[in-house]
Structures are given as structure tokens and as C-alpha cells.
Amino acid sequence: MTYEIRGIVKKARQVEALGYEMTWENIGDPIQKSNHVPDWMKEIIADLLKQDKTYGYADSKGVLETRKFLADLTNQRGGTMITAEDILFFNGLGDAIAKLYQFLIPTARIIGPSPAYSTHSSAEAAHANSAPITYKLDPDNQWLPDMEDLYLKVRYNPSIVGILIINPDNPTGMVYPKEVLEAFVRIAEEFNLLLITDEIYQNITYNGITAVPLSEVIGGRPAISLKGISKEFPWPGARCGWMEFYNRESSNEFSKLCQTLENAKMIEVCSTILPQLAIPKIMKHPAYFSYREEANAQIGRRSDWMREILGDIPGIKFNPTQGAFYNTIVFDEDVLKEDQFLPIADDRLKTLLDTWLQDKNMPLDKRFVYNLLAAEQICVVPISSFCSDLRGFRVTLLEENEEIFKGTFRRLGRAIETYLRAEVEQSEIERLKYKV
Ligand SMILES: Cc1ncc(COP(=O)(O)O)c(C=O)c1O
């Protein structure tokens, strides 16, 4: 198991140790990118810290009032109905994901998207002790899922008991249209499958797009929705996420799985209480909606800028993002070669890069990412590490400062063009060498 989103940091630190400033584009942590947590939110949390109850255990499933509040939010959408008893809190959605796959029977497989947020694909693969089973997201069709690929895989693999959907998607930034979600439900119906949907970015969409929650289209089928506050508040350090069980009595196996997950949480006692207490207070606050709207509009603007800067570069596939705060840029087939490089003036950086590139079996997108790290000090994540055969990389749309954002992606665009040129002329190398 690897988690390149953090793995790449070790390499980046080596560059920093040589005195260079790094542009971090590897992780979806809004706080790291200087996003401001509004003062009214901090006041709510500060007030909670003054109350003794904040220091106790919560119910094993989570704070009852908060679960009631969240169940109401889902019910207001008018789809499938839940109660507080259908919600189970975890220490971050990462914890929920790990538990979910851990407690499936080992022969039961969940098919997930490719590329995929690797916490899902790695946990699923670890549970089955086998490579992940995936359906394709298509960069030639705005990253929408290849439903035929999914259908055939499900049809011919009886060990598949469920389908994972990440909506809005990490790492592509795609948002599933309602018809596509309905098509997933039809496949689940035909093959009697569980649907799992990671909706942690549900309220992070922009430029006229909204994400339809699975609860609206699931009907009576069993499903689990995964939600959290790491991105939305944003409060990743709270380590707080939850599962919503839809139609848990619709199948015996599903009902048992829900019960097993609840029992596992009971053995642990409970999840962190402070963020659970804060959730209804923050989400009910009169400023919350407009705060999220403005934050989303800003990401939408960055999505437009990114398209203006990178959209027409030959040799790559670029799809503007519609949700979450990532973009995955894929190289056209066959444009990446072993001998491509970015010019580097500093011999210390060159030596460092040479040591990184010694592995001859390294995926070609990782070679590009390492070159970019050494030559431009921009830290992105290769898409080959997101459970994908495609070659490309993921960037974020989190940088708040317009000048830095545009500057970073202009540098990135130039680096792509330089790298893809089969032979970089010597004069070009010299020019780049002495650029300020
Ligand atoms: C799709 C998706 N699910 C889950 C998580 C994990 O969230 P948490 O911080 O709640 O563990 C992330 C974090 O990046 C994510 O992108």
C-alpha cells in the first residue's frame, strides 16, 4: 500500500533542504493553502470548549442531537428517509473508509472508479488481498464513468457485491449528472449490489453545477453515503466523518454489515466529540450558506483560470473541474518518453533528481512529476498512484492568492511544453537556466 499524496512530500522536503521554496499542490488541505476559517466558526468552537460536556465521551454512534440534525438534512432532500439511528460517526472519513472495507467478508469485492482516491482503492485491495477492481472514468468524455465497462465487469465477476461512487470526484473534479447516478442504481438493481457513495465534496460545486446526493435517487436499495467536514468547513484536523445507511432493512446482509460497523465503533467507545458538537451549530449559522457559496465561487473562478492557462496545451487532455478542488491532467498516449527532462541549473538539484530517477521501471508520469519537483519546485501527485493506467498528475485549486495561483499554473504549463518537446534545444536550456 502506498499513499503518494504524502509519499511525494519526502522528496519535496529534500528540495526544500537545499534552500528552495516549494509550491505544494499535492494535498487537498485548504488550511495548508491558507484558507481562512471564519471567525464566527472559531467562536462556536471556542464556546464549546468552555463547556464541560465537550470533554466527555459521546454515544458510540455519535452525538444524538447531531445525528438527528444530519438525518433531517438528508430527509429534507425528499429521497430516501433516515433516522438518527442510521448515522454512525468516525474519526475522520479516512477511518470510516478503512472500517468499511475491513468488515466486508474477504471474498466480497467493491468495484471503484479509476483513477480513484487511493484511500478507497488501497483499503479495498487490502481487505481482499488482491488488486483493486475498477471501472474507467473517461478523460475523453469529461471524466464521466464508462458505464459499459462497469456493466461488463459487474456482469462477469460474481464476487463484486458493491459499487463505489465518489461524487464530486477526487482526483478528477467531475460531478456525476443525475442520469448517470440513476444508471448506477439500475445496475445495482439488476445485479443486487450495494452502492457506496463518498459525498465528502457534496457541497463543493461551482460554475452552475450542483451535485445530486445519492439519497435522492437510491429508492429502496441498500446504500452507504460517506460524509465529513474536512473539506467543507474546512476542518481536516477535526478528524470527523460519518456514514449514513440507506434502507438498512432492505437486505439481511446489508443489515448485518451496518450492525457490524456499529459494534466495531462500540468496541472503540466513540469518535471525537468536539467536531460533532460543532456541526449543527456551524451548519445552522446564518452565515454558513453564504460562506460556502463564496468559497465555492472562488474555486469556480480558479477552475476558469486554470482552463485559460492549461486548456490549449498540446499533448495533454484537460477537463475543467466542476466540483471538489482537484484537477487531473492526463498526457496523450505515447507523448511521454524515458529521455524527456526539464532543464535544471543547480547541480545539487540535478544530482538529487538523478538519484530519484534510478528506478528504470518508474511510471513515466512519476518521472515528469520528479522533474517538475526538481526544476520548478512544484509538488503534484502522479496519476499512476491513483489506481490508474493513465499517465498524468493531480493538482489542487486551493491557492487563495490569485497571483500565486496563476503564476504556478503558468510555470506548470511551460514545464509541460518544455518536457514534451522531444529534444530541448541547447539555447532553450540556457535561457531557462538563467531565468529569474
Ligand atoms: C474523496 C475523499 N474521501 C475521504 C477523504 C478523507 O477525509 P477525512 O479527512 O475526513 O479523513 C478525502 C480526503 O482527501 C477524500 O478526498
Q: Cβ distance 67 to 84 under 8 Å?
A: yes
Task: Give 347 Cα–ligand 1 centroid separation in angstroms.
Answer: 38
pLDDT 10s per residue in the chain (436 long)? 666 777 788 999 999 999 999 999 988 888 888 788 999 999 999 999 999 999 999 999 999 999 999 999 999 999 999 999 999 999 999 999 999 999 999 899 999 999 999 899 999 999 999 999 999 999 999 999 999 999 999 999 999 999 999 999 999 999 999 999 999 999 999 999 999 999 999 999 999 999 999 999 999 999 999 999 999 999 999 999 999 999 999 999 999 999 999 999 999 999 999 999 999 999 999 999 999 999 999 999 999 999 999 999 999 999 999 999 999 999 999 999 999 999 999 999 999 999 999 988 899 999 999 999 999 999 999 999 999 999 999 999 999 999 999 999 999 999 999 999 955 454 555 555 555 4
Q: Taking Cα atoms as reference points, which of 85, 97, 71 lies closest to residue 200?
A: 97
Say yes or no: CB of residue 92 within 6 Å of ligand 1.
Answer: yes
Say yes or no: CB of residue 94 within 6 Å of ligand 1.
Answer: yes
Q: Cβ distance 241 to 93 under 8 Å?
A: yes
Residue 340 CA to residue 293 CA, distance in Å, equals 42
Atom of ligand 1 nearest to the CA of 95: 11
End-to-end CA distance of the chain: 40
Residue 379 CA to residue 363 CA, distance in Å, equals 17
pTM of the model: 0.93
Say yes or no: CB of residue 87 within 6 Å of ligand 1.
Answer: no
Say yes or no: CB of residue 200 within 6 Å of ligand 1.
Answer: yes
Say yes or no: CB of residue 325 within 6 Å of ligand 1.
Answer: no
Say yes or no: CB of residue 228 within 6 Å of ligand 1.
Answer: yes
Say yes or no: CB of residue 234 within 6 Å of ligand 1.
Answer: no
Residue 30 CA to residue 41 CA, distance in Å, equals 15
Task: Give 316 Cα–ligand 1 centroid separation in angstroms.
Answer: 27
Query: Between the CA of residue 317 and those of 60, 304, 331, 335, 413, what are the distances in Å?
Result: 46, 16, 6, 12, 13
Which residue lies with its CA nearest to atom 7 of ligand 1?
93
Say yes or no: CB of residue 28 within 6 Å of ligand 1.
Answer: yes
